[in-house]
Every structure is written in structure tokens, then in C-alpha cells.
Chain A
Amino acid sequence: MVKQGKYDVVIVGAGMGGLCSAALLTHYGYKALVVEKLPFVGGRASSVKYKGFTLPTGALYVETHGVVDKLFQEVGANFPVRDFPIQLCFRMGGKDYPMPIKGGLKTVISNFATEAETARVMGAIRRAFTWQEPSGAISIRDWFRQYTQNDKVLAVFRGMSNYQCVNFSDMPAAEFIRQLKFAGTAGADPRGFLALMEELVKVIKAKGGDVWTGCRVKRINVVDEVARGIVVDNPGAGEMEIPAKVVISDVGPHGTVELAGSQSFEKGYLKEVKERVRPLSYVCLEIASEKPLVDFNGVMVVPEGRRQMTMMSTSLVYPEYAPPGKHLLQAWAAPESSFLPLDTKKEIDLILQDVREAIPGFDREAEILHVSYWQKDWPMYRALPGALSQKTSVENLYNVGDGVAPLVPLGLPACAESARIVVDDIKQRVKPAA
């Protein structure tokens, strides 16, 4: 077998966590290699071209002025992300209720609730913000039900939960409140997420690192409970062993166990992975039209349907995502359960009924371009934040990405922060080869 021995760290998977890890490591003088199975980088934080449209492979937006752009700045990568207006509007009972930037929640709720009921709900949120986070042992739906039985008010929060891409009855109360606290600015790269991820590849390569796409990792080598490198199946070159002092996996904790072999891990760790790392499902419809189907420059929340749904006329903010003369609407919805296997046919039927009801003239003006599901091995999130630590029970084998998300904003910031935690630990423990 060919042996390639010039790397301090090898990284399995070129998703957001893997690329952020490599960008930080190369920036701090480590020789790093990223190996990616797919022919493109970014994983579920990438984009594809389809019929002239730019469609996401996963991430729909990235938080700005937070951990992600700080990391890009630190490693010297461009971050040409254009913010979209964080303006929410609730479409309920055929009427639109815009949410003002200041005092927004209270204003929206008071459309449907008495003054006393509004005060009770807002008081509970204030206590959760300033006194103590609610327990994670109950869902945010059950938490709100302690303060109101008003279906319209509950629907508003069901919609907010969809904005976090988790089903209202599956979202732990603590996590919902934490994410609500984090709420800030967000945007996307007008060129698509693939171009943003390639900005990281540029800095990795400029600092002596390598990124191999279309190359499959066959296993992670573990000897005496210590990670020693990986074996890849390099197209054209056959199997190749790549020794390294450290291995970082960005394929999710379940995938890491599969690659290294369950016999390599402690029993307690395997139990934690099995019980805590539960992938979340989600659905997105990409819809094309001649005119914008939702004439609102922000996020339209449709919370009362068969499914909780959020829509955005993406091409109003990013005309680059649609070919000339066309518009792109994205409708995102959480399925019946975020954690149970999807009945894909049932979900799409119900979501389509909701979309038809929410958009007058839908059948006349709209063309469904693409349907994307995320579930199982290609989920919306590999786990909720705080499920598992980044270190595995195998020495010098770490996980990064949304399966080991720390308690920061969901999605890309969580992936970036997991990479920072891992690289900070490596910097303490392992010196780069001279």
C-alpha cells in the first residue's frame, strides 16, 4: 500500500466543520489534509446549479456578525455574505401580520390575545431570558401551554420554532429560548454557499494544506486506543495509507464509529453516541415563477397549516439565485416529527396543500423546481446542540460539525465553533512538525 506521510492532521469530510478545522489548523502552522467523498466541498453547507437556479444543499442562511465571520476573518478568508432583512411576517387566517423589529413578539401576539394573556406569555419569556432558562426536559410547545391555551398565540411560537428548523413539539424548551436569545443578523453568499466554502479552500491551499474531493475514506486507523491516520481509496492510485498525529472527523459521530470500528471505542462512549446523536428531518420546496409568489422582502411565517412552514422569496434578496426573468421561492417545513423516519409522500402532499392555501394562484403561476429532504445520514442537523463532546474516547480522534454542536446558534455557527474548540485543544496538545 502506498504511504503518504506528510500531514500533522487529516480531516474526514469537507463540510463546514471540516473546512473550518483545516483553515484554522493551516493558519496556525499545521500541515492538514481534508478528504471528501463527494466531488464538491461544503456538504450540507454548499449549493448546486439547477436549471439556471442556485439551490442550497442544506444551509439556507448563515448568521453574520458572529462566530462564522470572525473565523473567516481570522484565517484571512473572504466572507462576501450579503445580509437579508431579518423581517418576519406571519400569514395567518388569510391576513399578514408583520413583526416590528422592536417589541415584535409582543405586537404579533397582542393581535390574538387579551392584554392579560399577552402579559402572562411575555412575562414567562422575560423570566426565561433573565432569571433561568426553562428545562430541556419538556418541549417548547408544552412549555408555552403552561401560559396559554390560545391556538393563535401557540401558532406564532410554532412558526418561530420552524425558523429554527425544529418541530414545535420536539424542540426542547431550553434550546428554543437559547436560540431566541441568539437571534441576530443573517445572510447568504450571492454566488451560493459553494463559493463561500471555496473561500476556505483557497486559504487552506495557500497555507500549504490540501483538499481532495471525490476521494473516499475507507477507515480511520486506531492502534492501542490512539488514532494513527486514515486509509483512503484514491481514484486511480488505489488504497493509500495516510498517517497523522490527529484525525478529525466531519462525517458525524455515527460515521466516525463506523470508520474507526466500534471495537476501538469505550462502551460508554458508544452508548452516548447511540442515545444522544439523533438526526433531525426537514423539508424544503424550491418553487419557480415569473413574478414573486410572496411579495415580501423577508421571511413569511405560515404557522397554522398542517405543517409548520416558513417561506422566503429568495430571489428578491438574491436575484443571482434565479435566471433572468424568473423568481425563486423557498418553502421550508418541519415534518410531523423531527426525529422519526419520514413518510416522504405524506409530507410532500401535506406541505403542498399548505403552500397552495398560503399562496393565492399557486397552481397557475408556480412550478415546483426541486424538493429536498434532509433526514437520516443527510439530516438537517445531526443532533441538537450539546448532545456530545467533540473528543471521542479514542485519543487524538475528534468529531466536528453539527453532530457535536456546542451551545451556540444552530447550523453553521455550531459547526464553526466545534472546529474552533477542537483546534484550540490540538494547539495545547500537539506541536506542528517543523
Chain B
Amino acid sequence: MLAVNEDRCVGCGLCVSFCPREALKAWGLCRVDLDKCNDCLVCLDYCPVDALTMLEEARK
């Protein structure tokens, strides 16, 4: 499950531009719509401050 580290996220919105499923929003800090996210992990490469991580725990 994709998670945002709010201490690191700066709200630059780069991940929003590169998410192929429009699962990310940045209006302030980055937010993940877990219903749309399919864990493709593209956003991890494009985050300039390493604020996005994959959590091992299963989706609820």
C-alpha cells in the first residue's frame, strides 16, 4: 500500500503529474486515493524528496 511520509513531502505535486491513474492529489501535501492506486510505483521514482513508500501491510 502506497503511503506518504508527511514530514518529507513538500507538496510539489510532481507525483500527481506522473501518476498514470490519477490516484494522487496534491493540494497541500500529497494524498493517495487507494481505490484508484494499483501499486504501479511510478510515483516513487518521480518523488524528489523520497516521501513516498510502499508499506507491506495489506489493504483494508
Contact = CB atoms under 8 A, between A and B. Distances in A.
Contact of A38 (B10, B13, B16, B48): B48
Interface in B7-34: 8, 10-14, 16-18, 26-29
A39 B43 CA distance: 11
A371 B27 contact: yes
Interface stretch (A43-51, A95-103, A199-207, A221-229): A43-51
B16 A373 contact: no
Interface residues of A, number: 25
A48 B8 contact: no
B35 interface: no
Max count, chain B CB within 10 A of own CB: residue among A48, A345, A378, A379: A378
B29 A344 contact: yes
Contacts of A37: 48
A374 B9 CA distance: 10
Contacts of B27: 348, 371
A57 interface: yes
A208 interface: no
Given A38-B45, A39-B46, A48-B17, A378 B28 contact: no
Contacts of B28: 344-345, 347-348, 371, 373
A278 to B, nearest CB: 15
Contacts of B49: 376-378
B46 A377 contact: no
B19 to A, nearest CB: 10
Specify the main secondary structure of chain A where it touches its partner: mixed
Contact of A372 (B13, B18, B29): B13
B10 A376 contact: yes
B23 to A, nearest CB: 14
A377 B7 CA distance: 11
A347 B29 CA distance: 12
Given A50-B17, A344-B29, A348-B28, A38 B46 contact: yes
B48 A371 contact: no
B46 to A, nearest CB: 7
B18 to A, nearest CB: 7
A21 B45 CA distance: 24
B13 A370 contact: yes
A372 B45 contact: no
Contacts of A344: 11, 28-29
B45 A39 contact: yes
Contacts of B14: 48, 57
